[in-house]
Amino acid sequence: MTGTALELSTPYLRLAARAWGPADGLPVLAVHGWLDNAASFDALAPLLPELRLVALDLPGHGHSAHRPPGTHYHFVDFVPDVVAAADALGWSRFALLGHSMGGGIASFLAAALPERVTHLALIEGLGPPTSNPADGPDHLVKAMAQMNALTHKRLPLYASIEAAIQARCEAGGLSWQAAAILVERGLQAVEGGFRWRSDPRLRFVSPLYLSEPQILAYMERITAPALLLCGDAGYLISRAYMQERYARIARLCIHILPGGHHPHLEDPAPCARLLRTFFASTP
């Protein structure tokens, strides 16, 4: 089930989305990971029928608009995009469900606007990636070089949809079925084959990373009840620095599930059981 297509007009960009569930259900805004799209929640959303779940295509992803020429995709800039989507839906208070980068965005939104977030559910994501502060100048130089080279860059062209699915499987360790769900929404037909809809600038190194102390300050500001689902073979389980992030969130519950970085897409039923109980709780 792919949900109902939505288009949201915001002060910044046109955003595409998919919606499931009754209009009077608990409003949940779902935010996908880097280079994914709203279809990331296609397998999970039908298992949460009591929710009004709206899954966004973030700017530069899926069917949403791209940022203007000459601009970067800074992590923190996605936060006002998600707030603008909630405003366009008429939601003054809502729950968040974020995967990977979307989990990082959701955690920052919950910290910045705690009065608007009723629940914070995260899958394989909590805060943004960080880097060694000493590498900051090199990142800025590389980001500028990538931007300048964009007009000459040859983008991948796939002869068939199946070839694109295979590339997505190899890049992210996804099963064919899971990759096909994402690729269907993330691909566009062009002369000679198929290309990704996503903005190629999304692949650039960030010109500026937040430091870990800055990220921890956001974790401390999260007041909503929070649930984090991690795959036992996922990204977070092996990152020791995440332990300090967990410790800074007052009302965080963590569950480890079998699977990798996309447990909600590869095996959604265990995620759905935990999420149904969590969203049914009264903050």
Percent above pLDDT 90 for the chain? 93
Report yes or no on whether pTM surpasses 0.85: yes
Q: With 90 as the cut, is the pLDDT of residue 8 above it?
A: yes
State the pLDDT at residue 1. Answer: 63
Residue 251 pLDDT level (bands cut at 50, 70, 90): very high
Q: What is the pLDDT of residues 66-123, one digit of tens each?
A: 999 989 999 999 999 999 999 999 999 999 999 999 999 999 999 999 999 999 999 9
Q: With 80 as the cut, is the pLDDT of residue 198 above it?
A: yes
The catalytic residues are 100
Q: How far apart are CA 50 and CA 277, in angstroms?
A: 11
Domain boundaries, the chain: 4-133+211-280
State the pLDDT at residue 153. Answer: 87
Q: With 80 as the cut, is the pLDDT of residue 252 above it?
A: yes
* DSSP code string of 193-219: EEEE-S-GGGGSPPS----HHHHHHHH
Hey, what are 96's tokens?
């968040």
User: Which class does domain 4-133+211-280 fall in?
Assistant: alpha beta
Taking the alpha carbons at both ends of the chain, their separation in whole angstroms is 30
Are residues 111 and 222 in contact, defined by beta-carbon separation less than 8 angstroms?
Answer: yes
Q: Which residues, in sequence order, are CB contacts of 219 under 8 Å at separation 6+?
A: 107, 111, 126, 127, 245, 248, 249
State the pLDDT at residue 173. Answer: 87
Q: What is the pLDDT of residues 145-180, one digit of tens each?
A: 999 999 888 899 999 999 999 999 999 889 999 999
Computed over every residue of the chain, the mean pLDDT equals: 96
